[in-house]
């Protein structure tokens, strides 16, 4: 599984907006606030919010956060913790550093690598693994570790912060933020009504001949094809891939470049995770780029980044409470503004011109852990000639 790409560079050192979340949080780029709602020594007074984390790269205006639980209302963290993170340091390092600095008696060490590599490492380390928390870019890696018996169930009050479809039914892991599959398109060339809401319609849409972009070597695209195999079967998926090749689909190395090419008019439509569109718009708010969604099919799959506690941890309570902090109102707002992901906690909305998470229409009957079974997908894509 791929490591996450940081297309906008390493995040600047955290800057905090003093205003509490309940009073509304500014989401403007380049905020230069100070820590609000906590004492200078990093301890908390429980009646106030910590404030906004991060530089606020999103240029989409003020944000009012009406839901979620502030870190100031969560159990304090104390002790030493080791996190194996499949999420890139450039994307989440600032958040982890903030949580580390928030408590005098808490220290977190993070080992960054690819999610699948870290799963293999934990399995290889066996009973001697130093990992307390595994933080993954995708549900598939979490499911793999859980199936290996290397996780422990999270407390109910942590699991209940996230809707059922975004966590393991057996409580072995929880999602922390999400990404939706979308169809970015060039608004100078198409309107929303021109974009099919059924992924199967694209190969027959001759108006898009030589105009569609995809990134077939990219992990999220391969997870999408895996979802199609799960929902439709191998033969219809083969036909879809061949149909797209016949349509003259253009290949890119990653989905940020797909969205960039659409914004530049090189192509006019493509397939990508939703946040790549928002990253383009954050830098070019007048770019002719918008987001369309298919409905109830593989093209609308919703995957999550998430976390679990590792069975060898000597401090399961601390590990679970660290994951609880990833589901705080402040952290969820951070994911929306800094990584442009979908927050998973009710009341914290995504940034930009996007539907709320409960307005999306992902397919039913897909276990997100199935999306890690890429071997058959890669074989099929190679057989068709996509790879």
Length of the chain: 387
Q: What pLDDT was estimated at residue 374?
A: 85
Percentage of the chain beyond pLDDT 70 is: 84
Inform me whether the pLDDT recorded for 92 exceeds 90.
Answer: yes
> How does pLDDT run across 201-256, given as a tens digit for each residue?
999 999 999 999 999 999 899 999 999 999 999 999 999 999 999 999 999 999 99
Domain covering 179-301+361-384 in this structure, CATH number: 3.40.190.10
191: alpha, beta or left? (left if phi > 0; alpha if psi -120 to 50): beta
Do 220 and 179 contact (CB within 8 A), yes or no? yes
> How does pLDDT run across 129-184, given as a tens digit for each residue?
999 999 999 998 999 999 999 999 999 999 999 999 899 999 999 999 999 999 99
Percentage of the chain beyond pLDDT 90 is: 74
For the chain, the three-class secondary structure string (H helix, E strand, C coil) is CCCCCCCCCCCCCCCCECCCHHHCECCCCCCCCCCCCECCCCCECCCCCCCECCCCCCCCCCECCCCCCCHHHCCCCCEEEEEEECCCHHHHHHHHHHHHHHCCCEEEEEEECCHHHHHHHHHHHHHHCCCCEEEECCHHHHHHHHHCCCEECCCHHHHCCCCHHHECCCCCCEEEEEEEEEEEEECCCCCHHHCCCCHHHHHHCHHHCCCEEECCCCHHHHHHHHHHHHHHCHHHHHHHHHHHHHHCCEECCCHHHHHHHHHCCCCCEECEEHHHHHHHHHHCCCCCEEEECCCCCHHHCEEEEEEEEECCCCCHHHHHHHHHHHCCHHHHHHHHHHHCCEECCCCCCCCCCCCCHHHCCCCCCCCHHHHHCCHHHHHHHHHHCCC
> How does pLDDT run across 358-382, given as a tens digit for each residue?
899 999 888 888 887 888 999 999 9
Q: What pLDDT was estimated at residue 59?
A: 55
Q: What pLDDT was estimated at residue 365?
A: 80
The domain limits of the chain are 179-301+361-384
Q: What pLDDT was estimated at residue 50?
A: 55
Which range among 8-17, 117-126, 320-329, 355-364 shows the weakest confidence by mean pLDDT?
8-17
Residue 39 tokens read as 């004492």
Looking at per-residue confidence, does 77 or 9 come out higher? Answer: 77
């Amino acid at each position: 599984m791929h490591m996450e790409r940081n297309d906008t560079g390493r995040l600047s050192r955290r800057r905090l907006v003093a205003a509490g979340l309940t009073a509304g949080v500014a989401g403007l780029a380049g905020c230069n606030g100070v820590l609000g709602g906590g004492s200078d020594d990093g301890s908390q007074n429980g009646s106030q919010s910590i404030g906004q984390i991060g530089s606020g790269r999103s240029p989409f205006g003020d944000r009012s956060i009406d839901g979620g639980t502030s870190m100031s209302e969560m159990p304090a963290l104390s002790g030493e913790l080791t996190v194996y993170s499949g999420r890139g340091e450039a994307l989440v390092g600032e958040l982890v550093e903030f949580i580390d600095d928030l408590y005098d008696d808490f220290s977190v060490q993070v080992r960054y690598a690819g999610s699948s590599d870290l799963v293999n490492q934990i399995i290889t380390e066996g009973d001697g693994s130093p990992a307390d928390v595994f933080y993954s870019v995708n549900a598939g890696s979490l499911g793999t570790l859980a199936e290996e018996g290397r996780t422990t169930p999270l407390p109910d009050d942590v699991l209940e912060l996230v809707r059922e479809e975004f966590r393991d039914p057996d409580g072995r892991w929880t999602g922390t933020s999400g990404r939706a599959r979308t169809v970015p398109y060039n608004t100078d060339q198409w309107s929303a009504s021109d974009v099919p809401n059924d992924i199967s319609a694209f190969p027959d849409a001759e108006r898009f001949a030589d105009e569609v972009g995809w990134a077939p070597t990219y992990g999220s695209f391969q997870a999408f094809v895996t979802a199609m195999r799960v929902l439709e079967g191998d033969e219809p998926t083969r036909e879809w891939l061949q149909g797209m090749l016949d349509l003259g689909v253009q290949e890119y190395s990653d989905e940020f470049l797909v969205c960039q090419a659409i914004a530049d008019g090189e192509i006019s439509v493509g397939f990508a995770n939703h946040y790549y569109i928002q990253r383009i718009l954050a830098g070019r708010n007048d770019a002719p780029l918008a987001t369309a969604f298919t409905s109830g099919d593989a093209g609308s799959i919703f995957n999550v980044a998430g976390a679990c506690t590792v069975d060898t941890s000597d401090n399961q309570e601390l590990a679970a409470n660290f994951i609880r902090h990833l589901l705080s109102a402040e952290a969820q707002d951070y994911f929306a503004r800094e990584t442009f992901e979908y927050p998973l906690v009710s009341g914290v909305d995504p940034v930009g011109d996007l539907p709320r998470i409960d307005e999306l229409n992902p397919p039913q009957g897909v276990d997100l852990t199935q999306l890690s079974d890429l071997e058959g997908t890669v074989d099929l894509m190679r057989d068709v000639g996509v790879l």
